[in-house]
Chain A
Amino acid sequence: MTELLVGTKKGLFVLDGDPETGDPFALVTRAFPGDVVEYAMRDPRTGRYLASVTSGFYGPRLMYTDDPQGEWQQAEGPSFPEETGASLGRIWIVKSGEAEGVLYAGVDPAALFTSTDGGTSWALNDALWKEHQAGDWQPGFGGLALHSICPWPGDPARLAVGVSAAGVWTTSDAGQSWRTGFGGLVPGYLPEEARQGTNVLCVHNMHRAPLRPERLFLQFHGSVYRSDDAGDSWTDIAEGLPSGFGFPLVLDPADPDCAFVIPLTADVDRVTPRGSVRVYETRDGGAAWLERGEGLPGREAYLTVLRQAFDREGEGAGLGLYFGATSGDVFGSGNGGASWFTVHERLAPVTSVRVA
């Protein structure tokens, strides 16, 4: 059985089902009704569920529980220290770290928080915040968001984060210092004469290939890139896609040459191209892309799939894929994208999908 955590504009929906059958999943519970659940995940090491919840009235907070059908507790943070003058706007992502008990949270305004107690309490990463303050970071359309966090398997000191719109930042000393790498990224939304050396880089999503951790895949604002040197330089791999624009990105942990994306038409038209919902897969590092769509809506379907609304379970031959759209529809594949089924229809607009 597979448990899905579907964050939406109107609460968290927990779904349960068997992808082998291709039948819709059952709705197990709905939590935080009326609030936006930006992101929800389960830490596989502890079984603890964590949810980023934003009330339209009472602001953002991180909640946690061991049972999503039971009571949720409010975490101590993330919150900005008084001396920063900043206030938390939104928690974009929560990610398990490599060290025991360590979790990371990426937030708006762009900052990284770390928990060493499984998500109960949080502390601001001061070094990255100083880079933020010194660098005049610019927000993207969705805000100034640290939304991608890529630990390095087996090495707790190494981490990469993606910021919209302030590029890719990496640390190799457990967050004591940070540097940015952007060779090869082309910000087509800037005048040509303004592109050289700029760090106004609208990263939409980023993931690391665990079997080859110096390799990162990146969905950018207008193209898809791959780095083979841990983020220092980037190669455009979008040729063959119907559009370079999009947000969702998933990797197959068993294959460092594999990535999946769901392109959208363009920044000015953020829907599936040609009214056809399709997932694109590469198995050769982005040299070629294969269209995957059997079972997905193929006509008159203008869906928007947001940044965190695409996830996987398992790997290799056992790879499952799941994504949700702002239409409230959730789709899944139990065979690595070869065929798809409808997991659930008519939920609220989907902000995130994670396999528990």
Chain B
Amino acid sequence: MSASEAHGMVQPMAVINLRAPLRDRAGGQARHDFPGTSVGEVLGELERRYPPIVGWILDEQGHVRAHVNVFVNGERVREDAPLTPQDVVHVLPSISGGCDD
């Protein structure tokens, strides 16, 4: 039981939407519902539950990779963005990734 649960608090549940290849590394599921108060927290929870995705969205310092875009309710954000209940998170590749190839 988490500390918040012990105190009778309900953690906000965010909806994370993934596309291939991230979806394939997260149990093949496109949609995930995780508790958390920030983008970094829910993405960290995603990594804990699905180790194959470790390092793909966040680097080892916990920062969203330069060429990955995270949107919350349509707005592009970084890992420190707060989340409220029922926020919808989309994780997408940036259109700039691989541009020098």
Contacts and interface: CB of A to CB of B under 8 A. Distances in A.
Nearest to B67: A57
Chain B interface: which size bin? 20 to 34
Contacts of B62: 82
Contacts of A80: 60-61
A194 B60 CA distance: 36
Contacts of B22: 58
A216 to B, nearest CB: 32
A85 B101 CA distance: 28
14 contacts: A9-B101, A10-B101, A55-B98, A56-B97, A56-B98, A56-B99, A57-B68, A58-B21, A58-B68, A59-B56, A79-B55, A79-B60, A86-B61, A87-B59
Given A79-B60, A82-B60, A87-B61, A59 B98 contact: no
A74 interface: yes
A301 interface: no
Contacts, number: 52
A36 B68 contact: no
A221 B57 CA distance: 36
Given A82-B60, A87-B60, A87-B61, A59 B55 contact: yes
A88 interface: yes
B89 to A, nearest CB: 17
Interface residues of A, number: 19
A88 B59 CA distance: 8
A59 B52 contact: no
Nearest to B59: A87
A61 interface: yes
A184 to B, nearest CB: 36
Of the candidates A10, A59, A79, the one having the most CB atoms from chain B within 10 angstroms of its own CB is A59
Contacts of B60: 79-82, 86-88
Interface string A87-121: 11000000000000000000000000000000000
B48 interface: no
A81 B96 CA distance: 28
Given A9-B101, A57-B67, A57-B94, A82 B56 contact: no
B57 A85 contact: no
Of the candidates A58, A61, A74, A82, the one having the most CB atoms from chain B within 10 angstroms of its own CB is A58
For the complex of A and B, list the 5 residue pairs with the smallest distance between their C-beta atoms, beginning with the closest: A56-B98, A57-B97, A56-B97, A57-B93, A87-B59
Given A58-B57, A59-B55, 15 more contacts: A9-B101, A10-B101, A55-B97, A56-B97, A56-B99, A57-B68, A57-B94, A57-B97, A59-B56, A59-B59, A59-B65, A74-B52, A86-B60, A86-B61, A87-B59
Nearest to A9: B101
Interface of A: 9-10, 34, 36, 55-59, 61, 74, 79-82, 85-88
Contacts of A59: 55-56, 59, 65
Nearest to A60: B55
A10 B98 CA distance: 10
B63 interface: yes
Of the candidates B59, B60, B61, B98, the one having the most CB atoms from chain A within 10 angstroms of its own CB is B60
A83 B6 CA distance: 31
